[in-house]
Amino acid sequence: SLVSEEGEGEEGQGEGENGGRWGYEKELGVVKKVVKEMVERKREDQVVRWGKEIEGKVVKDGVGKGVGRCLDNPDNKMWLKIRQVISEGEEEVEKVGERMKIALGIGEKETNQFVDDGKEGIVTFVRNLVKSKSSMIHYHMERVFDESFNNDENGVPRKWTKADDINKIFQKCLTKSAEMMDLYAIIRLSDTTTGGEEDFGGILDENVEDRWGEENLVVTRDEAREMLRKFKKEVESDRKNAISQQEQNASKHDMPYFWMILVLIFARDELYWMITNPFAMVLCVVLVGIAVVCHQIGLTPIIRRVVMEKVQEVMVLAGRGGQQGGGEEQIERKRRKRDEKEKEKEE
């Protein structure tokens, strides 16, 4: 019985030790689970914080400001500069991913996913930013046209002389404005150039949606064509004003040789009398001086137009007077016939 009691005691002691060990391990497992959940939540919070850092410092402050400067000052290298800004932003995302990987001890797969999401966020942000600037297309088209049409290649204002081919200059400036519209109309985030020429064509080309993708079009092909048509109609007045100014400038320097020859042929006696008469000579010099001044300041076309209008008015009045005179003669003739008939009746 003593042996059995001792055996039972040892067996009970073993069960107690196993039970205590099992309870300790259970509590330890619960603690580990709680700690693991806390670590996961902390890690997720850190990932979110790193993501906000990318969104704030990298995307908005870095990429956003850089792309905004390119859009506000467009040139033929605008998209090359934008792609460079995006590349720099993607490099910053990769650096943030490496720092996060070391700090949080996450795996390669999770880090790559984080970096890919950041790069995709940059591209989406740039697309939305470019589309938000679509209202600036007309402004830049107008700016480019005014600068190239009103100024020459050296930036000097044009004087519109005879040497200027206005229609050729006008078409060249329209082409530049269309190129500016094309520059904004398509989001060129991928390098598709070969020797400086775009492989996928412009916004006015057929099947542009299939070549570039609708997500990369700021305006559709039909919208671009309508925009260009309205723009041509708006700037047509500039072409007409340039032609009018060219005619005025030409009239300032054109010498009326034909009229001078006519005067020398048909007014030789009058010219001789004028030269030999001092009073007439002084009067002639004064009139010629006034005519030269009017010609140099550009009043000759205006004076010519006014004189022609007055001549037309005189001719119209003369015609009306002739018609009125003919009517009075006809009335007088009828009155005479009536008087003659009355005299015949009396006789």
Helix, strand, coil distribution of the chain in percent, nearest 5: 80, 0, 15
Does this model's pTM top 0.75? no
Check: CB of residue 246 under 8 Å from CB of residue 164. yes
Of 95, 114, 8, nearest to 51 by C-alpha is: 114
Is a pLDDT exceeding 60 seen at residue 193?
A: no
Is a pLDDT exceeding 80 seen at residue 337?
A: no
Is a pLDDT exceeding 70 seen at residue 227?
A: yes
Q: How far apart are CA 248 and CA 305, in angstroms?
A: 13
Domain ranges of the chain: 1-132, 135-254, 255-346
Is a pLDDT exceeding 70 seen at residue 37?
A: no
For position 92, what pLDDT does the model report? 84
Top-confidence range, 89-93, 180-184, 195-199: 180-184
* CB contact burial 170-205 (16+ within 10 A = b; e otherwise): beebbeebbebbbbbbbbbbeeeeeeeebebbbbee
> Which whole-number Å values give the CA distances from 213 to 19, 71, 124, in the listed order?
69, 21, 14
For position 228, what pLDDT does the model report? 93
Q: Which residue has the higher pLDDT, 73 or 199?
A: 73
Q: Which residue has the higher pLDDT, 137 or 7?
A: 137
Q: How far apart are CA 79 and CA 67, in angstroms?
A: 9
For position 178, what pLDDT does the model report? 92
For position 194, what pLDDT does the model report? 38
Confidence class for position 195, pLDDT limits 50, 70, 90:
very low
Confidence class for position 336, pLDDT limits 50, 70, 90:
confident
H, E, C per residue of 245-288: HHHHHHHHHCCCHHHHHHHHHHCHHHHHHHHHCHHHHHHHHHHH
DSSP assignment, residue 133?
Answer: T
* CB contact burial 104-113 (16+ within 10 A = b; e otherwise): bebeeeebee
Is a pLDDT exceeding 60 seen at residue 161?
A: yes
Q: How far apart are CA 91 and CA 118, in angstroms?
A: 10
Residue 151, SS3 per DSSP: strand
Q: Which residues contact 251 (CB under 8 A, 6 or more apart)?
A: 298, 300, 301
For position 35, what pLDDT does the model report? 54
Residue 197, SS3 per DSSP: strand
Check: CB of residue 111 under 8 Å from CB of residue 97. yes
Residue 217, SS3 per DSSP: strand
The pLDDT tens digits of the residues spanning 110-140 come to 888 878 888 888 888 899 989 988 888 999 9
The DSSP string of 49-100 is HHHHHIIIIIIIIIIIHHHHHHHHS--TTHHHHHHHHHHHHHHHHHHHHHHH
Is a pLDDT exceeding 90 seen at residue 142?
A: yes
Mean pLDDT of the chain: 76
Q: How far apart are CA 211 and CA 203, in angstroms?
A: 10
Of 3-17, 55-69, 322-336, the poorest mean pLDDT is in 3-17
